[in-house]
Structure 1
Amino acid sequence: MSFACNENNKIKQHIYKDTTKVESLQYKAFISYSHKNAKWAHWLHNALESYKIHKHLIGEKTEAGVIPDKLSPVFLDRAELASATDLGAMLTQSLEHSWCQIVICSPTSANSHWVNEEILTFKRLGREARIFSLIVAGEPYASATKTPELECFPPALRYQLDNNGNLSDKPAEPIAADVRKGKDGKNNALIKIIAGMLGVGFDVLKQRELQRRHRRLAWLTASAMTGMVVALGLAINAYLARNEANKQRIRAEVEAETANRTANFMVSLFAVSDPSEARGNTITAREILDQGAKRIETELTEQPIVQTTLMHTIGEVYTALGLYNRAQDLLSQTVSQRQSLFHQTKVTGEELADSQGALAKVNTELADFDNAVTLYQHAIDLLNQSNAENQQLQGDLLAGLAEVFFRMGRYEDAGPLLQEVVTLRTQTFGSPSLEVADSIQQLGLNYYDRGDMQQAESHLLQSLEMVKGLVGSEPHPTLAENIGNLAFLNHVNMQFDEAEAQYIQALEMYRTLLGDAHPTVAGAYANLAFLYNDFGKYSEAKTMYQQTIETLRQVYGPSHPKIAKIMNNYAYLYHDIGEQEQALAIIGQTVSMAQKELGDNHTDLARYLSTQARWLAEAGEYSEAVPLQRRALEIKLETLPPGHTDIATSQLDLAEALAGIGEYKEASALATDSLNSLIESVGEEHWYVAAAQLALANTLLGENNTHDAEALLLKSYDHLQRSPAVPNVYIEKALNRLILLYSQTGQQSEKAKYQQLLTNLSAEPG
């Protein structure tokens, strides 16, 4: 029906109390815009329809209704309504069937008769509270100033309706997000609108967005910081403690012989007859460990109990040092041999379970999650079947399995395990105790992963209070860890001042306890770097990254794999803020360090090479990029399982570089393989797939197959546009290639269209 009708009809529409539910309406939103703001309307449409609502919000009841599982469909497309006297049946019906209305606000929309009519129509449906504004240009309420031409709000937004459904002179207060320079920025503006549509607070959704980033960063920090310099004396102490436990389980004569031979063996590791054989002037703990591991495998084959005990001990030391591949070799042998000894009743189920857990921990660090889960589950079952009363080991195994589930994103599965860990450690150590406090803290972090901020904060505070009651307020490593985790929670909650103060407090505690040269201190600096980076304090972030690297160099010397990991993140900071030359310089240093420390066949090296080559290609240095990408792909094919996403992305990167030097046939084959693999591994909706389509289209362009290239480019560009999180560099690539395509085909109007979109993209904030 039309709204160009009599006043009585308007009154009925206005006094009608809207009781419609979101699930009963066809559209989640109706976007009102003027023709000149079509770019922003299409961006918003794609962003809303592709937005993934967090599963913990779906079904929640708010003032706006029950939160749906998605925000599509959104009504957008409409033709300009030339001289019609009303909106027309189609638009009126679409408005009636829309849960919300979003108005793109600019001086042109403020002067658009039809945008104003759409707002009036929606208000007369009784849905004024569900109108949201996106300011893209101009100034709100400028009509009352000396520059009325800058007004961005249409009259129907600026004023309320009277009882007759007409505009009154009573000012309204539109709910607005603002993408203008220096305001919200695109991402925050989008989150504001979605928060309003769903009836949740802005902070709730912002936390979800930051969770995706911060838990990744938290894992990255843990990955970079894993392992410390472990004094060999500590390794021996760990071994002796383990040996003491063995004495209670193995026959006295066997254990005495084992202890004697083991002690002799450990002492003999220090008996280096020729110090010149060491790589430096001093013999390092790593050299002693490597020598010991080699001797264990060759000299103790006739003493399998001693051999497996030592393998297990040194395997755990390798794990603590972050030397996961070497640890995996030793612990795999340990598990295999202890399984045989277990069947011969020469070792207990508890000992076998302990080794399975140690190997599972290494597999977790190597991202071999499926095998880690299997090992942990076997170890837990074996411990239960053995009727061993080792609650400490049981708790450690459950905590380890929970960590794997966290790495896999299976937060719901990790929760019950951590609840059980709290119970076991309470029974084992009593409450209060530092062990119980730690398990409560881990459970709090799991609540965070599951989106329950209230429970997360409650558990972290409970853990902190327990620790304070045990150790006081003086510097203590467990207290510092608790404060750091609360800082992390405030970080995610966008409480910058609180997070900064707590991160600094934790850092100062660690420095007091551990000195300036310690990996944990470096990790505290890295946390501050992430905080400053997230809040746009790039100068401070640079300083903290530099301090992190300097601290790690004090610990490990000038070169170490963990330094390389942090340098990789540091390089990305420069790349993200547009300082490409500095980013390339740092990633080049990272590659050199990785080659020295990890050798020529390590997955981390391959990843750094891929990054370096990708940035060289972005700078047009394709001939330099190609050999680096080839080597990166070779390493990944040798070190990663078939079908791994990293292999597909390397194929994609190599295809882009090859196309840059005109090798279109090989590039096309690689891009096709990458596309098929990514569809299978991450699904067709992931933007990686669009990036692979973009690379394949580039090879078609190079072969002058403009027909197929056009179809694929348009499909890729549309896909990339639908993802608010996609890096702009890929959208820019798509636009540049569409411009090239239409230059080749002489379609000047299409070329101009995408040239303007590229100009607009470069001018957009955020």
Structure 2
Amino acid sequence: MAELAQLARTIRGAASRVRRPSAHLRYMAFLSYSHKDSDTATWLHEELEEFRVPQRLVGKLTEQGPVPRRLAPIFRDRHELAAASDLGEEIEAALGGSRFLIVLCSPAAAKSRWIDKEIACFKRLHRDDRVLAAIIEGEPFASNIPGREDEECFPPALRTHFDRLGRPTSQPAEPIAADLREEGDGRRMGLLKLAAGMMGVGLDELVQREAQRRHRRLYAITAASVAGMLFASGLAYTAIEARDEARDQRREAEGLIGFMLGDLREKLEPLGRLDVLDSVGGRALAYYEKQDKSDLSDESLAQRSRALTLMGEMAFTRGDLDRALRLYREAMASTGEAVRRDPDKPQNLFDHAQNVFWTGYVDYQRGSLDKAATAFQEYRRLADRMIALAPNEPRYQLERIYADTNLGTVLADQRKYRAAAAAFQASLEPVEALVAKHPDNRDYQTQLVDTLAWLADEREFSGQLDEALAHRRRQLGLLAQQWRSDEGNTTIKRIELTARRALARLLAQRGDLAGALDQSRQASAVVDWLTKTEPANTEWLQAGANANFDRADIELASNRIAEAQPVIESACATTSQLVAMDRSVARWRTDMQLRCLDLKSRSALLSGQSADATGLAQQALALARTIPNPVERGLRIASAERNLGDALASGGNREAARGAYERALAAWPRNIEEQPREMASRAILLARLGRRDESNELAGRLASIGYRHPSLRHDRQQ
């Protein structure tokens, strides 16, 4: 498609004048879509062009006029536009010459201003009820729900009612919509809904036609089968022999596929070889694409779903979340069907649970915590059902531990630290029991290490620093044991990276900057090792950038400005690389970019460059204001305002600096569970404003839990 969003010119005249539609409607419909949805557009274009209108309906008078013989032609600019000097006029002419407008609705379409202009132009020339929506991704009217704006799939003009004169009104529109998603109408039923809308007939009339067509086809097949029975019986022996040979070949091929998706995958994953794993999933899918899906056994369908899940994981790891989500949803449709057929088979529940988790994890990465929590709760329900059916299977017990951990992470992100710690503590006992019973099981050992990590974080965030340190040191001890028996395992190194980052952060809070710096440097060394192994792994890139941000923070706290600056530049460059891959990941787009700006601003201030520090703090402030979560938004604004105030004070503008400090304190969220580091920041802000009693009270509370970060004493004295 010559993508409309890339046109250099607007649709000329659409915003400034009302035009009458052409008396000759050349096209049955104009298909409007985003280039990201071109595959679906190609399918829909072909289906509509080839759609056979039932003979009994042709000529029938409906509200849309006489029913035509065909639903063609459909305007799609890649096929219809001639080489012309003014593409805008051609598009507008095509809109005026089309009886209907079909909009493929997705978040990408909702953000396209060109699609919005096409809809507005069409509504000026025609009636609202001649606009048909086909949902392929996202949710209608999600923009009305706080925190879910990015899921909106309807462009603004589609949601707006236009009056008889083609003028937009304040009244919301209720577009006629078909849902092409598997969980909605599905492609076939969605196509019939669109066709019925274009013809002005009831959907049941077309559905009835479809049923009659299937019956006629079955009758013809039956008749042909009876007629061929005698001939087939003459070839029976040869056919049976060929069938047996084909069955043996299929059994051998599917055995190899099973090995690739099972044992081989387990051997490759610790090596971090995304290219080989991608190839495994691709080869498995290629094999099943050549098979008739209706002939596949339940096990073959299950293996196909596992291949889709693997491909989804690889796309996720490379930062292509849109493709990953499509693959997970396709896999989830298959595993969901398997569960429907046999709801008491634990393996079916296990396979389905993996896809439920991954779809929820994509939502988690994009900052949609409520949607993630819903998916993780369903994952927990499936785990409970597995255990009920097979109570002695440790693998299913591990699934429930995973589920508790997932829900704990959501609670932590919602700043419910004590509730999160309780969830992690609840999962620690069963996983320790599994490790004691199966000391050589690597999965159980890894989960114990992970559970200790999450529990340590929540102990840290709720102010129990000594317990957090103990958990982290135990975790690193277990990792060292694992590494001695399995050198080269990337999973162990990835967990070690997180553990050393956290230990460095804890040591800094206890006042041991030298120990913190040593742990931070060891974390940076792990980053180098991981990224050399697999440079395209976005999970490692994200963890590596954050490790370098942590190191730079400690270097600055130690007044080692020259050492901090190249580390900051490296982490910021990685952040830009991740954002370029996928802007939908909230952690990359906001959290990491804010850390970059914060550290750059502080580094500039310590170097005596107050003007640069001011500009960077202002950039951070603008970005912080875009965060949808009100608590996180308030904390980020407060941090940026404090940096701005420090920069202004350094430049001699004390009055403006005080204004920034006051705004920072005003932005600070009320009635939240503060982490010790956040409490320290508030104490510093109060000191900046001369509110010494309040600042001292907070400092005393921090001292009682062993918080002795040097910046608290230093910054409160400034």
TM-score of the superposed pair, with normalisation by structure 1: 0.45
TM-score of the superposed pair, with normalisation by structure 2: 0.47
